[in-house]
Structure 1
């Protein structure tokens, strides 16, 4: 990573949730590292390393201390932190993740990759055979609303609302919002408005493919991605507002 380059640093809310589960000393070390990097990237360049086994070359790791690693996604002049955990668990998490630009939702999707052909075969059962929570909703409707194909097996394993609540970190943030809304009885139109998906009869004028830099600054992405403007804002979120993640 070129230390002379100015990078825009952002944090997926999943990263902030992962920090809440770790010892306070690790959160403090991570905050100190991020504050120094934000104040002067040219003097405090981070040593990002490739993650062996991941299919996404933008997914990198960075050392917090001997036992803990942060996982980030790097593209262009953007660095988005995704997860923090102990060394082995952080790498296991990273090996299964990839980051996508989703033009349909105008957002960034952090996806847990699965062997689709092998596992989705189980997901493509009839809705009546599925566990109770979303048994009445067929795969086609889930996909049309924005659930990712790779996530269908996990959706079909949900038994009740508590199961969904416990599974928040297993789903992309947009997908979790869709599932939560479905479980709460929202209509498809209400869900599309919630996550910013255009319906089929809306303007379909062909446009240039959006870039990561374009999408991450969108209102839709800001629902689950935090981009601090100042060190004070960064510290306020890390030291006081993590409880709201």
Structure 2
């Protein structure tokens, strides 16, 4: 069984205090040595859209989020209980359709506000200049080639100079870096196609 560590794990580890980091690192090492250790209180995260996310107890309030399959164990995130569970409930691990890379993708949830009509006198709207959509000229295939997840294509296309950073925060790191390079006038290389399994 392969033992892997995601970039999101190291990023979340850095946000913990020194003492919390020590116990998280020790638990990660213990988990690597014995993934079935009953002292870790390992259990599936029920509300997660990806049923392979599990939680392991690190300390009183610290939880380690793991993506567990028959072939691999991936350390994904570490944080305080509620934060860690919320992180896992909003993500899924998938293989990118074009690049073949394994990506932890933030799940899109649609919240629709019901608008109650109000009758008011019509006013002539003032015309405001619409900001240029940075990625409007790029094809879906080109965006996928930079690692943009399929479900985020519409948001990326709608991004302008005011919203690009907000969109980039929700994308996998390689996609965000490529889009920010394009936004600043650069031309990143499309990602190379990964091997048959993203964990090789």
Q: TM-score range by the shorter chain?
A: 0.7 to 0.9
Superposed CA RMSD: 3.3
Deviations 1:107-135 (A, max 9, x none): 101111113696xxxxxxxxx845x6xx2
Correspondence 1:20-39 to 2 at 5 A: 20-39=14-33
Equivalent residues of 2:134, 2:183 under 8 A apart: no
Residue 61 in 1 paired to residue 55 in 2? Answer: yes
Deviation at 1:197, TM superposition (A): 5.0
- Gapped runs of 5+ residues in structure 2? 113-128
Quick check: which has more Rg, 1 or 2?
Answer: 2
Deviation at 1:27, TM superposition (A): 1.1
Residue 89 in 1 paired to residue 83 in 2? Answer: yes
- Gapped runs of 5+ residues in structure 1? 1-6, 119-127, 199-208, 218-245
- Secondary structure in structure 2 of the residue aligned to 1:17: helix
Aligned to 1:9: 3
Residue 136 in 1 paired to residue 134 in 2? Answer: yes
Q: Distance in 2 between matches of 1:53 and 1:97?
A: 11
- Secondary structure in structure 1 of the residue aligned to 2:189: helix
Q: Distance in 1 between matches of 2:89 and 2:38?
A: 27
Greater helix proportion: 1
TM-score by length of 2: 0.73
- Secondary structure in structure 1 of the residue aligned to 2:104: strand
Equivalent residues of 2:134, 2:159 under 8 A apart: no
User: Which fold has the larger relative contact order, with Cα–Cα distance below 8 Å and residues 6 or more apart in sequence?
Assistant: 1
- Secondary structure in structure 2 of the residue aligned to 1:36: helix
Deviation at 1:11, TM superposition (A): 1.0
Aligned to 1:174: 174
TM-score by length of 1: 0.61
- Secondary structure in structure 2 of the residue aligned to 1:196: coil
Q: Distance in 2 between matches of 1:41 and 1:93?
A: 22
- Secondary structure in structure 2 of the residue aligned to 1:98: strand
Task: Identify which of 216, 219, 244 aligns with 2:199.
Answer: 216
Q: How many residues align?
A: 180
Q: Distance in 1 between matches of 2:32 and 2:143?
A: 37
Deviation at 1:152, TM superposition (A): 4.5
